């Protein structure tokens, strides 16, 4: 019995010692990792990050990316175009395309660009205006004020032509059946006098009784009728005429002064290089044709109203 009791007590003491050792182990702090172990763990984490699939990273970045704001431009036709706020160049390009299609500016910047293009295309605007002016002039029915050139104003001059030497231009002869060549193609009221002109021969008494203004100029006699000067054939049998046809009565001047002012105006613009003599000779007629051709007028080789208007003389 005594032996059994001793064994029981020994077993109880052994169990108590084992329990105390277990409690001591549980209460001790975990050992610290050394630097080598930390480096190994960091390298392992880096390898794991690199091993992450690319498509997962892209999807993640896309998922968390903040959508960019967009501006919408609505055209005159009701169409809407989205433009990135941070894409200025693309915005300008799209706006220009919209304006081209709709025919209307889509924004302030485009309007400014369009105005700049119009200024830069000055030659196009000028040629367009010139073509319209040419059409109006050849139509002939438009009033003279419609094709008045504001950039040119000719000041009337009075030339001393009485002291000029005897004309060397061969005179024209009277021909009752003569008509002005090419006048049938000159359309409009400004050229009606050329289409209907026919030379007539009468004596001095007849001319005086039918027209209240007959003047002597450059060796011949001219009568005034409805704003035009015409040769008064027969007023003086030995009358001299370098040109047989109507002359527009500019500013109330006699025919020789009208011719002289036209010659001076053509000189100023580099078309006439002869003497200012008040005669419509071959050089003056050639200068008139060159000027009329360059300015979109009918090439009448004569002093007509559209030509004087273009020269800034009426």
172 secondary structure, DSSP code: P
Which of helix, strand or coil describes residue 248? strand
Higher pLDDT, 140 or 298: 298
Q: What is the strand order of the sheet 214-217 is part of?
A: 214-217, 220-225, 228-231, 247-248
As a whole number of angstroms, the distance between CA 314 and CA 308 comes to 6
pTM (2 decimals)? Answer: 0.55
Indicate the Cα dihedral angle 175, 178, 181, 183, nearest 10°. 130
Q: Is the dihedral of CA 118, 119, 123, 125 positive or negative?
A: positive
Q: Give the E-state strand segments of 122-180 in sequence order.
A: none
Of 262, 233, 253, give the one whose Cα is nearest residue 245.
233
219 sits in which H/E element: none
In this predicted structure, what is the pLDDT of residue 236? 94
Percent of the chain at pLDDT exceeding 70? 51
Cβ-in-10-Å burial (0-12, 13-18, 19+) of 152 comes to middle
Angle between helices 122-139 and 108-120 (to 10 degrees): 60
Of 223, 173, 181, give the one whose Cα is nearest residue 202.
223
In this predicted structure, what is the pLDDT of residue 114? 47
Integer-rounded Cα radius of gyration of the chain:
52
As a whole number of angstroms, the distance between CA 264 and CA 193 comes to 25
28 secondary structure, DSSP code: S
18 secondary structure, DSSP code: H
Question: Beta-carbon neighbour count of residue 182 at 10 Å?
Answer: 14
Annotate 65-112 with DSSP letters as a single string.
PPPPPEEEEE-TTS-EEEEETT-HHHHHHHHHHHHHHHSS--SHHHHH
As a whole number of angstroms, the distance between CA 145 and CA 148 comes to 5
In this predicted structure, what is the pLDDT of residue 262? 97
Q: What is the tens place of the pLDDT at every residue in 128-185?
A: 344 444 444 444 433 333 344 445 688 889 999 865 556 688 999 999 999 999 999 9
Percent of the chain at pLDDT exceeding 90? 44
What's the pLDDT band for 94 if we cut at 50, 70, 90? low
**294 pLDDT higher than 90:** yes
Q: What is the tens place of the pLDDT at every residue in 181-238?
A: 999 999 999 999 999 999 999 999 999 999 999 999 999 999 999 999 999 999 998 9
17 secondary structure, DSSP code: H
Angle between helices 108-120 and 88-102 (to 10 degrees): 70
Q: Is the dihedral of CA 259, 265, 271, 275 positive or negative?
A: positive
On whether the CB atoms of residues 239 and 302 are closer than 8 A, the answer is: no
On whether the CB atoms of residues 113 and 92 are closer than 8 A, the answer is: yes
């Amino acid at each position: 019995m005594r032996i059994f009791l001793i064994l029981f007590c020994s077993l109880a003491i052994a169990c108590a010692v084992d329990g105390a050792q277990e409690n001591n182990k549980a209460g001790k702090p975990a050992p610290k990792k050394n630097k080598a172990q930390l480096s190994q763990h960091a390298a392992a984490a880096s390898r794991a990050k690199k091993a992450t699939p690319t498509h997962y990273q892209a999807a993640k970045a896309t998922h968390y990316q903040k959508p960019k704001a967009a501006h919408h431009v609505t055209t005159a036709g009701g169409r809407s175009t989205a433009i990135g706020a941070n894409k200025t160049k693309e915005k300008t390009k799209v706006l220009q395309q919209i304006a081209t299609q709709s025919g209307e500016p889509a924004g302030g910047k485009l309007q400014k660009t369009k105005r700049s293009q119009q200024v830069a295309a000055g030659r196009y605007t000028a040629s367009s205006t010139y073509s319209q002016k040419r059409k109006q002039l050849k139509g002939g029915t438009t009033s003279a004020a419609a094709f008045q050139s504001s950039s040119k104003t000719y000041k009337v001059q009075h030339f001393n032509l009485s002291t000029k030497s005897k004309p060397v231009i061969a005179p024209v002869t009277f021909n009752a059946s003569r008509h002005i060549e090419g006048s049938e193609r000159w359309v409009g009221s400004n050229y009606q006098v050329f289409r209907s002109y026919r030379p007539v021969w009468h004596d001095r008494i007849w001319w005086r009784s039918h027209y209240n203004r007959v003047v002597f100029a450059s060796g011949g006699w001219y009568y005034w009728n409805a704003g035009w000067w015409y040769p008064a054939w027969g007023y003086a049998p030995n009358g001299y005429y370098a040109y047989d046809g109507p002359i527009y009565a500019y500013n109330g001047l006699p025919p020789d002064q009208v011719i002289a002012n036209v010659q001076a105006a053509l000189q100023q613009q580099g078309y006439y290089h002869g003497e200012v003599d008040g005669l419509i000779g071959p050089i003056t007629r050639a200068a008139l044709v060159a000027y009329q051709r360059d300015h979109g007028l009918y090439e009448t080789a004569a002093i007509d109203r559209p030509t004087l208007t273009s020269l800034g003389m009426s």
